[in-house]
Structure 1
């Protein structure tokens, strides 16, 4: 499994943070009954899509490399360019490696870990609680929640998108 590279990806996100990126582009939004995982891509970047997603029940002493119990895992059969995936579902071109059978408890903390199609070293990580989710709101940057309008209004450079 390529999750061993997730730590490198998290390190890359931290490195980008040192270069001016304030936030990880991974987010989750929508209502608690139908959450959607998303990746905020940089304008003009091709092949920037989610390739692999894992949902974990966050462990008390969890880390980005070992977040806890794996509840759901999907992976693209080939490089798909998807920036939105419904939590618990496998879109066309993805294989379910572990189906989501657990009901998400509203007050429990969960972790999402993704790998991106554009680069095996680019990964996303965040934690969230389903009670943070509501239509028109998103959670990103490990628990930071805000309106979708405010999130979309943020400068792309906050997410590591820099123009030449």
Structure 2
């Protein structure tokens, strides 16, 4: 998924670090039918959410710009963002660019890259292992995990949600 957004990822890092954000809003958690990709909603933000997402087999020499082999890629065909997407599916309003055709190995590391609507330069990136996705756990950032409750109780400013 070479979106030509290398500068966008760099801009996100600069934007988030300049604003004091510790993490981007992308996360993954266990769902009833498998992993669910999520975007933390900022209070008062309009039209934020995922409009494009790709899953990669993480290359140990990978980078945010080149995380490894692309396994799955979807993009919103109508620009409508979502805050939750079942990994491997293409929800209504999304087009599958590359279907997921492999089963995820619980011990392997994968990477997710996502773009959001409210600003084409803002992207999310995280790495995770499927075995981290226990019920009630959230994985975000660089394979950081914690309970859903602890994640929800984090200050919104940790994720770049700043009130005017």
TM-score above 0.5, yes or no: yes
CA separation in 2, counterparts of 1:74 and 1:53? 6
In the superposition, the TM-score normalised over structure 1's length comes to 0.94
Match of 2:115 in 1: 115
- Confirm or deny that 1:70 pairs with 2:37: no
Distance 1:112 1:95, change over 3 A: same
- Aligned residue for 1:28, secondary structure, equals strand
Residues 96-152 of structure 1: CA distance to partner in whole angstroms, max 9, x if unpaired? 111000000011000000011111101000100001111110100121000000000
* Cα distance per residue 1:66-111 (max 9 Å; x no partner): 0000000000001112100000000000011110000000110000
Instruction: Return the alpha-carbon distance in structure 2 between the equivalents of residues 127 and 4 of structure 1.
Output: 20
The unaligned stretches of length 5 or more in structure 2 are none
Distance in 2 (alpha carbons) for counterparts of 1:49 and 1:61:
29
Report Cα offsets for 1:49-72 as digits up to 9, x if no partner. Answer: 100000000012100000000000
Match of 1:52 in 2: 52
Where does the alignment leave 5 or more consecutive residues of structure 1 unmatched? none
Contact conserved, 1:30 with 1:133, CA < 8 A, in 2? yes
- Where does residue 133 of structure 1 map in the other structure? 133
For 1:120, what is the secondary structure of its paired residue? coil
Find the aligned partners of 2:3 and 2:125 in 1 and give their Cα distance: 12
| 2:13 paired residue number | 14
TM-score by length of 2: 0.94
Aligned residues: 163
> Aligned-pair RMSD on alpha carbons?
1.5
What is the DSSP-based 3-state SS (H/G/I as helix, E as strand, rest coil) of the residue aligned with 1:42? Answer: coil
Do the aligned partners of residues 61 and 33 (structure 1) sit closer, same or farther apart at CA in structure 2, a change above 3 Å counting?
A: farther
